[in-house]
Amino acid sequence: MKMKTKDLVLMAMYIAIFVVLEFLSDRFGLFKMQAGGKLSLSIIPLIIAGYQFGFGRTLFMSMIALVLKFMFNPPTFVHVVQFIMDYIVAYGSYSIVGLFKDWNVKGLALPIGVIIANIVRFMAHNISGWVFFAEYYPVDMVKAVMVYNLTYMIPTTIVSFIVVMVIKPRLLEH
């Protein structure tokens, strides 16, 4: 896979923006859940990259971004499935956005890939939660984990959908 210098620079820029937003969110986050999860603005550069570079390169970028994220905030996990789902699958899910065409509604391009990627991330976090909490709590874990994850994934989906809808046309026209 040959890349132009411009592509490498843009990829590095998206990763840098991800890391800065993630760092700021970890330090000063307005909406952080007690047991993990938060309103994630850092995913927006990954989403834009997903539209610009496609699945493979964005997945590669997401993994690099995670390694850098872990330098500032090492991951906490008790099971390998939890790590894979909460990090690899959850953040890698944004590489699929470009696989889905926007829905055009009365001249407005709706980035449906953003919703689908966030659903994949939501399900990855659910699987992780079910693996982790099933061992420790006898309550209905399916519902409890889903409700918990919905509290931050719904705002993340709404904010990322709106921001991407506004900035994507301007960023990708070049």
pLDDT digit string (tens) for 86-96?
Answer: 999 999 999 99
> 169 — phi, psi (to 5°)?
-60, -35
> 16 — phi, psi (to 5°)?
-60, -45
pLDDT digits (tens, 9 = 90+) for 71-114: 988 888 788 888 999 999 999 999 999 999 999 999 888 999 99
- d(Cα 20, Cα 91) in Å, to the nearest integer? 16
Which band of pLDDT confidence, cut at 50, 70 and 90, is reported for residue 132? confident
Domain total for the chain? 1
Of 141 and 152, more confident: 152
**Tell me, what CATH number does 94's domain have?**
1.10.1760.20
| Residue with tokens 């984990």, as numbered in its chain | 145
Q: Give the pTM.
A: 0.90
Shortest CA distance to 23 belongs to which of 42, 47, 48, 44? Answer: 42
Domain that holds residue 62: 5-171
Q: Which helix (H) or strand (E) holds 55?
A: helix 43-72
